[in-house]
């Protein structure tokens, strides 16, 4: 971890934005992609500098770090996304932080627990259903085959959760085809959910965001490419 100067961060951000632009135009000029900058590997000072350069949406994968950073930067008009596995005992902490979007709702059990605690606090939360499209043991998320049913069940039974779409982490592989398949599987599910009002298909990280966009992603979560 190092403090990065503004010009250095500007060059990184320009490169990422340019790559996003190239990929999204190849899909359609009407295909808009949101960039969420993932700050988990970097210091808060670099997040503040990226804000000065125009970036507004930031993601963290740990509640404690999210809380600290939201607090320190509370004067800035930032959007904060939770992108990591949420332990049940941290649910109330997350609710109190009122994130813009909780991207990592990864099981029906978590949804039920989250909904119960949202109800108790008379709050709601925007969430994405995380899909383990590559069926990797090390990853959380629901299986592709079950995703539509689970999405439906959460919509019907968890009134305080507002589902906005899906999130996936691309297959952990050197094989581009495997990564592409995991994105395509997730996008297929997203297309079906669009008819029910889903608007966000969150796919793509530093190593694969261009590929993800070409497979239909409209939100990319980029960390190391911005803060390298
Ligand atoms: C860390 C992380 C990212 C960003 O990863 P990079 O490869 O550094 O871009 C995106 N999504 C999730 C869920 C993450 O945990």
Q: Kindly state the tokens that stand for 49.
A: 């500098």
* Top-tier CATH class for 6-24+31-222: alpha beta
Which ligand 1 atom is nearest residue 103's CA? 13
- CA of 222 relative to ligand 1 center, distance in Å: 6
Residue 224's CB: how many other CB atoms inside 10 A?
A: 14
pLDDT tens figures, 99-151: 999 999 999 999 999 999 999 999 999 999 999 999 998 889 999 999 999 99
How many angstroms separate the CA atoms of 120 and 205, rounded?
35
By the 8 A CB rule, do 160 and 167 touch? Answer: no
- CA of 169 relative to ligand 1 center, distance in Å: 8
pLDDT tens figures, 14-70: 999 999 999 999 999 999 999 999 999 999 999 999 999 999 999 999 999 999 999
Q: Where are the domains of the chain?
A: 6-24+31-222
First to last CA, the chain: 9
Residue 89 burial (C-beta neighbours within 10 Å; 0-12, 13-18, 19+): exposed
């Amino acid at each position: 971890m190092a403090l990065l100067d503004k010009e250095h961060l500007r060059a990184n951000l320009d490169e990422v934005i340019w790559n996003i632009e190239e990929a999204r135009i190849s899909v359609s000029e009407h295909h808009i992609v949101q960039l969420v900058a993932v700050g988990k590997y970097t210091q808060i000072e670099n997040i503040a500098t990226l804000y000065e350069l125009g970036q507004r949406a930031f993601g963290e994968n740990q509640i404690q770090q999210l809380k600290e950073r939201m607090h320190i930067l509370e004067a800035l008009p930032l959007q904060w996304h939770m992108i990591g596995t949420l332990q049940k005992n941290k649910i109330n902490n997350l609710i109190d932080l009122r994130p813009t979007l909780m991207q990592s709702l990864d099981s029906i059990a978590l949804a039920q627990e989250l909904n119960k605690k949202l109800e108790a606090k008379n709050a709601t939360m925007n969430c994405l259903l995380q899909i383990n499209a590559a069926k990797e043991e090390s990853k959380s998320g629901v299986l592709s085959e079950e995703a539509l049913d689970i999405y439906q069940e959460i919509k019907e039974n968890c009134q305080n959760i507002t589902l906005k779409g899906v999130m996936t982490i691309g297959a952990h592989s050197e094989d581009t085809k495997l990564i592409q398949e995991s994105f395509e599987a997730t996008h297929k599910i997203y297309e079906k959910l669009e008819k029910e009002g889903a608007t966000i298909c969150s796919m793509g990280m530093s190593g694969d965001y261009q590929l993800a966009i070409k497979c239909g992603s409209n939100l990319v979560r980029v960390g190391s490419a911005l803060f390298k």
